[in-house]
Structure 1
């Protein structure tokens, strides 16, 4: 997995990475739609009830799947590409984190 992420950071993923990540984004959007549909069905169940922890978890998953799905669908492997930080901003060191 680490080697795969290194290839994506260098931009050497090629069309298989494009296809895989964009299809993964579409799948996440599909799961988001499925979770939203299930929440709608559970809200309209005949005995009125308060939301239980499972429904809260499903709602949180739906929001996360929506954001991640769109990011993967639109950007694809470019989401993992390293971008240079201008010298006038804080410098980042891999081991130590941000330094001034």
Structure 2
């Protein structure tokens, strides 16, 4: 169940972070509400995750997957340009999360 909580925390964070741009500096009500509620959900579910998953592992997965997803969404929906260095960097972040989950005993 704790891994599900982490997935929910990641999805909520990605929605909230993506909505920051749409909130236009908190001048638009609906996107601003999505940001506040999204981050509230994020930290609630992340706190539930930390009951059994070590802090460093949970944070590495949460932030790494979040960065990759937000970057992909910004590329698709906001036309953000990614050069080769950006794509390699995002790939390394994803690779780090995979290595942490697949080979590290710290995530057990």
The interval holding the TM-score normalised by the smaller chain is 0.3 to 0.5
Query: Which structure is richer in relative contact order (CA contacts within 8 A, separation 6 or more)?
Result: 1
Q: Give the alignment's TM-score, normalised by structure 2.
A: 0.37
